[in-house]
Amino acid sequence: MDSALYADLTLQSHEGQRQATLRMDGKADSNEDMSCTSKKNVRCSFSQWLLVGSLLLLLICVALTAAMFPYYLQVGSHLRRAEEEVETLRTNSSHWLDELEMAQEYGLLVQKNLSSVQREYRSLHEVILPRLLYNQTQRRKELTAIERQRQELRLNLSKLQEEYRSLREKNILVPWSSELLMSCTGVGQESAILCPFCPPGWRVFELSCYLLSEDAQNWEESLSWCRMKGGYLAVINDEDEQDFLEGFLNDTAWIGLSDHRREGNWRWVDETPYESTTWFWQPDQPDNDGDEDCVSLSPASKCSDDKCGEKYTSACERRAERLTLNGSVLSN
């Protein structure tokens, strides 16, 4: 745009010079035939000076135009920049207006949220806070009651520990899984429970203990072996005991019954009275076949008389040790 304006001004300057030259040439041509006479010297001189002044004025204008042209260009550049800045400001103003609208909408939203928060605050202050204070008071009371109960429990625990130490000094603690309590029965006095128990290796049944020898011996040797173990050859008092022994035996064994002192006079080794019953003997027994004076018992079978020199295992019996369980106190 600056170059076009410069070209326009230059063209106007050249056109003015050309017209002035034409005028001067025309005047010169018209005055060639004229001669400046003395009468007209003053007029001719004025015209010449007027022409010279016009030329000077034209040159001054051209010079001023040439001198002012850069300033004109600079002013035009400033004007264009100003127009661009105005356009930028106009665009920014549009953006600022949009942002202002958004800010106003956001302000309305914030105001609504503030109103909601204020309502919640009033609800909290008027309803929830008193309820929380009431619950806190109740919790404090409950904690006080719990602390009181805890102190009472701690006191009771101290008393129980003291009683426990005292009982431990005077008694032996027996766990419920102990073998001493495995054979407890309801037989006893009043509410007490009777608990029979046997030495290691012996097996308890009702109120007696039973033991089988590993080696086979004759009846007399079996009698001595059982006495050495602290018992005697087994004495059968009822059918339940006989059924137990028949299941307890692994092989034929001697029991504590014989008539070796007098034939047919059967006697138990512990002097228990003998009464002949059908459940005791095997069929057709005793038959005293070949001087059979001692009695043996076979597994899952009945008793039979046998020669006392035969070698069988020994079925020993002894009285079970007994403890009385009264509540949780075990005593002898």
Whether 111 is in a domain gets the answer no
The letter for the amino acid at 73 is: L
Model pLDDT for residues 145-169, shown as the tens digit of each residue:
999 999 999 999 988 988 888 877 7
Alpha-carbon span 235 to 318, nearest angstrom: 9
Whether residue 204 sits in one domain with residue 90: no
By DSSP bridging, strand 253-258 and strand 321-326 are unpaired
Cα 4 from chain centre: 85
Alpha-carbon span 103 to 134, nearest angstrom: 44
Q: Average pLDDT in the 317-325 region? A: 82
**Does pLDDT of 99 surpass 70?**
yes
Tokens of 108: 């309305």
Q: Average pLDDT in the 37-59 region? A: 71
Residues in the chain: 332
Alpha-carbon span 240 to 49, nearest angstrom: 176
How many other CB atoms are found less than 10 A from the CB of residue 54?
A: 13
Domain boundary among 76, 101, 126: 101
Whether residue 311 sits in one domain with residue 216: yes
Q: What pLDDT was estimated at residue 22? A: 46
Nearest to 241 by CA among 286, 205, 196, 195: 205
Model pLDDT for residues 187-237, shown as the tens digit of each residue:
555 567 777 888 889 998 988 999 999 999 999 999 999 999 999 999 998
Whether residue 194 sits in one domain with residue 326: yes
Domain boundary among 101, 135, 154: 101
Supply the pTM of this predicted model.
0.48
Q: Average pLDDT in the 15-20 region? A: 52
How many domains, in total, are found in the chain? 2
Whether 109 is in a domain gets the answer no
CATH number of the domain at 307, please.
3.10.100.10
Alpha-carbon span 70 to 76, nearest angstrom: 10
Model pLDDT for residues 58-84, shown as the tens digit of each residue:
888 777 777 777 777 777 777 888 888
The letter for the amino acid at 147 is: E
Portion of the chain with pLDDT greater than 90, in percent = 24
State the first-to-last Cα distance of the chain, in angstroms, to the nearest integer. 132
Instruction: For residue 17, give every residue at least 6 positions away whose Cβ sits within 8 Å of its Cβ, in sequence order, or none.
Output: 58, 62
CA torsion, points 81, 83, 89, 91, in degrees to nearest 10? -110
**Does pLDDT of 13 surpass 60?**
no
- Domain span at residue 282? 188-331
The letter for the amino acid at 94 is: S
CA angle 250, 253, 255 (to 5 degrees): 135
Q: What pLDDT was estimated at residue 325? A: 67
| 233, 255 contact by CB (below 8 A) | yes
pLDDT range class, residue 31, cuts 50, 70, 90: very low
Q: What pLDDT was estimated at residue 172? A: 58
Q: Average pLDDT in the 24-41 region? A: 47
Whether residue 193 sits in one domain with residue 85: no
Model pLDDT for residues 113-156, shown as the tens digit of each residue:
888 877 877 776 677 777 778 888 888 888 989 999 999 999 99
**Does pLDDT of 29 surpass 60?**
no
Q: What pLDDT was estimated at residue 329? A: 61
**Does pLDDT of 49 surpass 90?**
no
Whether residue 195 sits in one domain with residue 94: no
Whether residue 194 sits in one domain with residue 95: no
Alpha-carbon span 79 to 85, nearest angstrom: 10
Whether residue 192 sits in one domain with residue 82: no
Tokens of 202: 């012996």
